[in-house]
Copies of this chain bind each other. A is one copy, B any other.
Amino acid sequence: MPATVEWFTRSTRGYCATRSPHGKETMTATTRLITLAEFLQLPETQPASEFIDGQISQKPMPQGKHSTLQIRLAETINDVGFPQKIAYAFPELRCTFGGRSIVPDIAVFKWERIPFDADGEVANTFELAPDWTIEILSPDQSQTRVTDNIVFCLKHQTRLGWLIDPDEKAVICFQPNQLPDVLRQPEDSLPVPDFLDLRLSVGQVFSWLKLGQRF
């Protein structure tokens, strides 16, 4: 689907987060027509906003459990993926593809799929789906919307999706052409991409919430 296709907001629940001249973030309900191209011209918001089916929605403000899992998991992935340039985990990276512009909590890319500028620096614009998308549920966040984004990734080039539910101490794992797995026993082994030499169990991931030893 071309990036410039016009989408209509289909619901009055669409919100447009904008920054006023005084720097204060305001949320205004919108039913106006907006294109992906127009969305990408808007200033970034904090937390990030996503463009999905013509609607703009802002991610929730990360809280303690979310932040803890996000940084710890990204570090863990980069500890095994970075030294040999196998893969890299980017927290809060905007990925624009298939008509959506989304910001997974962690987007993991195999090294050869990371776009670099001519000068060898990581590009600013990622117009591709991650190899592994990781979302961490926040209180009051719509799990249906998060699920929708993960399934959307999997229908593109993503091979693995995790939906981490800190309240339930469960991880729902999505892989192409199969039912999701709901893993919630501490000893359950979590699937990781085969390009990473990484073993993680459900219990290990949620033990990070206690901020114990790094390893």
Contact = CB atoms under 8 A, between A and B. Distances in A.
A63 to B, nearest CB: 17
A26 B110 CA distance: 52
Given A10-B185, A177-B177, A179-B177, A172 B155 contact: no
Chief secondary structure at chain A's binding surface: loop
Contacts of A143: 143-144
Nearest to A152: B182
Given A142-B167, A144-B143, A148-B170, A180 B180 contact: yes
Interface in A162-212: 163, 165, 167-170, 172, 174, 176-182, 184-186
A40 B83 CA distance: 54
A145 B174 contact: no
Contacts of A186: 10
B167 A179 contact: no
Copies in the complex: 2
A163 to B, nearest CB: 8
A151 interface: yes
Nearest to A164: B144
Contact of A144 (B10, B172, B174, B178): B172
Contacts of A11: 169
A147 interface: yes
Given A11-B169, A151-B179, 13 more contacts: A53-B184, A137-B144, A142-B165, A142-B167, A143-B144, A144-B172, A147-B182, A151-B180, A155-B179, A176-B179, A177-B179, A178-B178, A179-B180
A151 B182 contact: yes
Contacts of A176: 179
Interface string A43-86: 00000000001000000000000000000000000000000000
A154 interface: yes
A174 B179 contact: yes
Contact of A170 (B144, B155, B180, B184): B144
A168 B145 contact: yes
Nearest to A165: B144
B179 A154 contact: yes
